[in-house]
Structure 1
Amino acid sequence: MAAAQAVPDPAGAERPPEKPVQAEAAQPAPAPPEKPAEAAEEAADDAVDATLPVARPDSTPAEPPADGPEAEAGAEPEPEASTTPPDDPKPVGRLIPPEETAAPEPPAEPKGPPVRETLRESDFDYAACLLALHDLGSVYEEIATISQPDQRDCGIARPIRVTEILPGIALQGGAAMRCDTARSLGFWMRDFVRPAVARLPDAPRLSGVQLGTTYDCRGRVGGEAEAEAKLSEHAFGNAIDISAFTFHDGPPLPVEPRQDSGDLVESFQRAVRGAACLEFTTVLGPGSNASHNDHLHLDIAARNGGWRLCQ
């Protein structure tokens, strides 16, 4: 290569020869100094913090979005309902009980058959009872079933009408009743009343009895309001009331209070009244209550254990 010649300076001075320009090799950029371990951890924390929602001072920290379509779409979670009570709550009125608003329910229909049907005798028992009346010499007739349109339980399923309970001993006006009632009445008259009459002064002959209530669809009387009382045994043909005993040759002997009279008439009334409890399950009379001061009430009401009411 030719040596570089000096170029004359326009001012007459010589310049030193220029050095040849050589292409400099490209030097790599200096690597940034390595961060210490603490700086690396801070950088990692900054990266994580950048992905978390910013907490506001007046709200609770936001929960991360749940997995699902809303999270994938970037939907924000709904704010929770506030549990703070309102500043001005509305007044609460009186709670109306259901029984004040609900329509009254109709009365429940009675269950089971009417009482008169539960007392219906079987064919065998009915035939046996009629045979007993035949042996007693009773005068009677079988009549149609008795029922009440306005009271389902009242009535007699197999009634009979008795005019003479024993031969020559009449039931004044006749009386409808169940056969079982007539049979008990016949046994009482035959075994106790007629023999007791023979012990009265002058031994009168019994001709019959004057009757009070026989069959009657009504409530019990004596100690209960009739409108609220249970049905009387009269309503089923189970009861008969006797107000006086009549004789062929003398005045009637009424049933009435005879306390401490000390005569045979008082003894007769006490005797036949007490003996009635051997045939009937209920016997009431003078002294039981005001409603029974003028008659003997006799009935065959069924009670548990064979218990009897004799007053």
Structure 2
Amino acid sequence: MRAVTVLALVLLGAGPALSQDRPPEAPEAPETSVTETRPPERPEASVEALVEAPAAGAAPEAPEAPAEAEAPEAFGPPAPPVWFVQAETDSDFAACRLALALLGTTYRQEPPVTEADNRDCGIARPLRVSQILPGVALTGDPVMRCDTARALGFWTRDFLRPAAALMPGAPQLTALETGSGYTCRDRVGTGKALPKPSEHGNGNAIDVTGFRFDTDQTLSVQPREGDGAMDEAFQRAARGTACLLFTTVLGPGSNAAHDDHLHLDMAARNGGWRLCE
């Protein structure tokens, strides 16, 4: 009995000891309302404010470009006329006249030619040529620049005279029948004027309508396609060799406006390009 009592006392004394060894429980945190920890809500913006206000970080709109200003009018004097630009220097003109002297060309220097109605037409140092080589006249005494006369002289000396000597009876060339020399007008093609100035308007062109020989024969320039005659051979030779001296050669078959003559001119083109038709 005594043993049971002692055991009971021991057990009763162990209860508090065990409770003392247990760590104390943490006190419960006070309840906090959700509304107390949530940050205050931003006031709602109106639709108009959202449309008008730029987005955060967006670049500002570029200002409207000003209306294009009209190009200012050209200032200063007008460009010089074509005839003035093409005028020979003193040294070039002297060299050209020396060549004409060696060829035996007969000519007369005329006063400068200008046109009141067309400022680009004209010749600074025009020559009126009556005989391109000794014994070879130019009908009509056409007016032209010295460069044109020189090319015409070389063509006549080096090609026309030798070609004539190869014809039956070896006739001598006595004259070139010439049409327009200097004429202030537009170009022509297929019988109509073209909206471009003619090289005739600056003395750079000459029209040859025929060739005269000492046999009283005249070979007129005309369409000669495959007739097999010596006249065709001479005309073909004259036309083909002319492009060695002139930059433009037009004749029968080029267009309707050139069926009755050879148009020869000294037009300047890029790269030395030539038009031979």
Q: Same fold (TM over 0.5)?
A: yes
Distance 1:249 1:287 in 2: 28
Equivalent residue, structure 2, for 1:45: none
Q: Is the aligned partner of 1:260 residue 2:226?
A: yes
Q: Is the aligned partner of 1:145 residue 2:109?
A: no
Contact 1:200/1:264, CA 8 A, preserved across alignment? yes
Equivalent residue, structure 2, for 1:165: 132
Residue aligned with 1:230, SS: strand
Q: How does 1:1-311 map to 2 (within 5 A)?
A: 111-223=78-190, 225-226=192-193, 229-311=195-277
Contact 2:191/2:257, CA 8 A, preserved across alignment? no
Distance 2:139 2:92 in 1: 27
Q: Which structure dedicates a bigger proportion of its chain to helix? A: 2
Q: Deviations over 1:105-149 (max 9, x none)?
A: x9x998310000010000000000000000000001111000001
Residue aligned with 1:288, SS: coil
Distance change (3 Å), C-alpha of 1:109 and 1:174: farther
Give the CA RMSD over aligned residues: 1.9
Q: Given residue 190 of structure 1, which amino acid in structure 2 is its aligned partner?
A: R
Aligned residue-pair number:
205
Q: Given residue 139 of structure 2, which amino acid in structure 1 is its aligned partner?
A: Q
Distance 2:140 2:197 in 1: 24
Contact 1:162/1:174, CA 8 A, preserved across alignment? yes
Larger mean CA deviation between 175-184 and 241-250 belongs to 241-250
> Post-superposition shift, 1:214?
1.1
- TM superposition score normalised by structure 2: 0.71
Larger mean CA deviation between 200-209 and 287-296 belongs to 200-209
Which structure has the bigger radius of gyration? 1
Distance 1:263 1:176 in 2: 33
Q: Given residue 102 of structure 2, which amino acid in structure 1 is its aligned partner?
A: D
Q: Given residue 180 of structure 2, which amino acid in structure 1 is its aligned partner?
A: T
Contact 2:144/2:181, CA 8 A, preserved across alignment? yes
Q: Given residue 234 of structure 2, which amino acid in structure 1 is its aligned partner?
A: F
Distance 1:245 1:110 in 2: 47
Residue aligned with 2:127, SS: strand
> Post-superposition shift, 1:255?
0.3
Distance 2:163 2:230 in 1: 10
Q: Given residue 121 of structure 2, which amino acid in structure 1 is its aligned partner?
A: C
> Post-superposition shift, 1:229?
1.5
Contact 1:204/1:250, CA 8 A, preserved across alignment? no
Larger mean CA deviation between 256-265 and 126-135 belongs to 256-265
> Post-superposition shift, 1:210?
0.9
Q: Given residue 276 of structure 2, which amino acid in structure 1 is its aligned partner?
A: C
Residue aligned with 1:305, SS: helix
Structure 2, gaps ≥5 residues long: 1-72
Equivalent residue, structure 2, for 1:88: none
> Post-superposition shift, 1:250?
2.4
Q: Percent identity?
A: 57
> Post-superposition shift, 1:219?
0.2
> Post-superposition shift, 1:189?
0.3
